[in-house]
Amino acid sequence: MAANTKTSRRKVRRRKQLRSASCEAKLCQPPLPLELSNCPASVTMSDKVLSMEDVAKHNTKEDCWVVLYGKAYDLTKFAKVHPGGAKLITDAAGMDATALFDPIHPKDIMDKLLKPSLTMGVVDAATIKPEHVAKAPEPHKPAPKKKKAASSEVEEEVEFKKPPLNAMLNSFDFESVAREVMEPQAWGYYSSGGDDEITLRDNHLAFQRITMRPRILVNVREIDMTTQILGVPASVPLYFTATALAKLAHQDGELAIVKAAKKAGVPYMLPTLSSYTLDEMLEARSPEQQVFSQLYVNPERSRSEEYVKKLEDAGVKALFVTVDAPQLGRREKDMRNKFTQQGSDVQGDDEEDGAVDRSQGATRAISSYIDPGLNWEDVPWLKSITKMKVLLKGVQCAEDAVSAYKAGLAGCVLSNHGGRQLDTCRPGIEVLPEVMEGLKEAGATKENFAVFIDGGVRRGGDIFKAVALGAQAVGVGRPVLYSLASYGMNGIVRMVHMLQDELQMVMRLSGTPNIPSITEKHVIITNLADHIVPLPTDFLVQRTYQGLEPAAKL
């Protein structure tokens, strides 16, 4: 009887703890932005010292403690709504899961997101034994390929051998290698698009609906591709746009991208959803290296203000406010990988007790940290909290671009979030002509309002076409991640050099010796908005794109 009473008291205490835990840790993929937490800024960790034996007692899904970087956290409640599935957390219940956590998340995410009541204490390192440590999975090995020998019709399995870096001739080469060397879950996260992935694919195909109109007998002995992007010198009209979770591609993650940007001579837009902390990314900069930053606005505006101040104090040149993601799109490749990873947990006890649909978990979680109520009335506030140039990232029509100009913003990025949000919306390059026309009618100039595009840029010719239609530069995202996954920092640098070589060739053959000489008269856009124009088959796209599969075919 006494034992039952003690058990009952423990359950009551547990329920009280869980009720107080309104700001749970986001041990998820993708992680939620640290700087956008709804938790108070004065979060402090309990100074109680625990032994690993103490933690190991909490090893069930009903009582789940997890150790990360020497601190024990109670994740019992959060596991039930974890976007990646409860199994990822409960499998590590009562264990040190740092080795599983570190390859993806910033080190300080837990302390930034947790209330003190969920930080149970510091674990005495001397008490952690090998059996207490959750092991990271073995590195992914590419599956053997089936290939026919030249002298035989019989298919045999051939081990994948990564080509040398100098064998990479275009951005699709990097994508094909990345697909082989990346973990399946990481590949699914990077490569996935919204719904049927129509926009994902059309982002690049739209460039092929623009044809060239070259001029002859122009002195093109010297080609100058240099330009200024928001006052930052660039070797080419290109910047690395913000992309999440770069550690999924390579252990150096965003730090490698920062260094590659410096070496290639282009700016990098620091992401909020990063694998490394903001401080670590800023510290990776070379002296005098200038960067931009991306921002998700938090419902608790003071959190965003603190983050923006930190960026400004660090010398960040421009702030790109993401406005196309009040919630996440449905990315089925990514969702299927998560279901596979969860196994029986997907249709297990959680379903019976009314747990949230895992497929919508990330959407549900991120909506707590990105304010879906953000509107034009908030623009004066955005401008008031910083002296940095403020731009909107995710504009998709002329009316909104004109509104941004009239609101006194520094510019906008025409973007559909890499085809990962609303499917069948138009590529940025297709929106560009109507935006430039609308801005011209409103009195905007390139000097007082900058227009950029991202999405689908894979060739130097794509950069040329965007500049010809009025963009000051283009952003690239997936090519950076794929080249990073394939060959690290050196892969990114080579990818940029290839785009530079291609752009130089296009400029020379088009009769445009420098960036200002590239105009709308050098391209024909008659078919740009026509989505039924027959095109020659693009075999590089066809052979690198991984098609969606219905469940019965998996």
Task: Point out the domain boundary residue: 132, 162, 193.
Answer: 132
Catalytic choice (190, 296, 405, 487): 296
For 385-394, write each residue's pLDDT tens digit.
Answer: 999 999 999 9
Same domain? For 309 and 203 the reply is yes
Same domain assignment for residues 87 and 192: no
Tens-digit pLDDT profile for residues 190-230: 999 998 999 999 999 999 999 999 999 999 999 999 999 99
Percentage of the chain with pLDDT > 70? 79
What pLDDT is attached to residue 235? Answer: 98
CATH of the domain at 39: 3.10.120.10
Same-domain pairing of 221 and 321: yes
Indicate whether 77 and 194 sit together in one domain: no
Strands 232-234 and 238-240: unpaired
For residues 257-268, one letter each, b for 16 or more C-beta atoms within 10 angstroms of the residue's C-beta and e for the rest, the string is: bbbbbbebbbbb
Count of the separate structural domains present in the chain: 2
User: What was the pLDDT predicted at 537?
Assistant: 77
User: Does a structural domain hold residue 51?
Assistant: yes
* 194 and 77 inside one domain: no
| Domain boundary residue, one of 84, 113, 132 | 132
Q: Are residues 191 and 269 in the same domain?
A: yes
**pLDDT for 149 beyond 70:** no
**122/218 same-domain check:** no
189 and 116, same domain (yes or no): no
Catalytic residue among 58, 82, 105, 417: 417
CA angle 338, 256, 235 (to 5 degrees): 120
Instruction: Give the per-residue pLDDT at 147.
Output: 60
Reported pTM: 0.82
HEC string of 46-98?
Answer: CCCEECHHHHHCCEECCEEEEEECCEEEECHHHHCCCCCCHHHHHCCCCEECH
The verdict on 275 and 183 lying in the same domain is yes
Count of C-beta atoms within a 10 Å radius of residue 16:
11
184 and 256 assigned to the same domain: yes
Average pLDDT of the chain, as a whole number? 84
Question: Is 296 an active-site residue?
Answer: yes
Residue 111 lies in a domain: yes
CA atoms of 156 and 432, how far apart (whole Å): 48
- Helix, strand, coil % in the chain, rounded to nearest 5: 45, 15, 40
Largest CA distance in the chain: 99
Please name the residue that has the structure tokens 């080249």: 483
The reply to whether 257 and 108 lie within a common domain is: no
Choosing from 324, 423, 454, 462, the catalytic residue is 324
Domain membership of residue 262 (yes or no) is yes
**Residues 285 and 17 sit within 8 Å (Cβ to Cβ):** no
Instruction: Report the CATH number at residue 490.
Output: 3.20.20.70
Predicted confidence at residue 114, as pLDDT, reads 61
Does pLDDT of 351 surpass 80?
no
Question: Does a structural domain hold residue 305?
Answer: yes
Residues 230, 318 contacting (CB under 8 angstroms): yes
Q: Please give the C-alpha separations between residue 162 and each of 95, 120, 174, 180, 419, in angstroms, as whole numbers.
A: 36, 45, 10, 9, 28
342 burial (CB, 10 Å; 0-12 / 13-18 / 19+) is buried
Classify residue 152: in a domain, yes or no. Answer: no
53 phi and psi angles, rounded to 5 deg: -65, -35
Alpha carbon 204 to chain centroid distance?
18
Statement to judge: residues 191 and 335 lie in one domain = yes
- 107: domain range? 17-132
**Which band of pLDDT confidence, cut at 50, 70 and 90, is reported for residue 257?**
very high
Q: Is 189 in the active site?
A: no
Residue 151 lies in a domain: no
In a domain, 242, yes or no: yes
Domain boundary among 70, 101, 132: 132
Say if 285 falls within a structural domain.
Answer: yes
Split at pLDDT 50, 70, 90, the class of 339 is very low
Strand partners, 227: 234
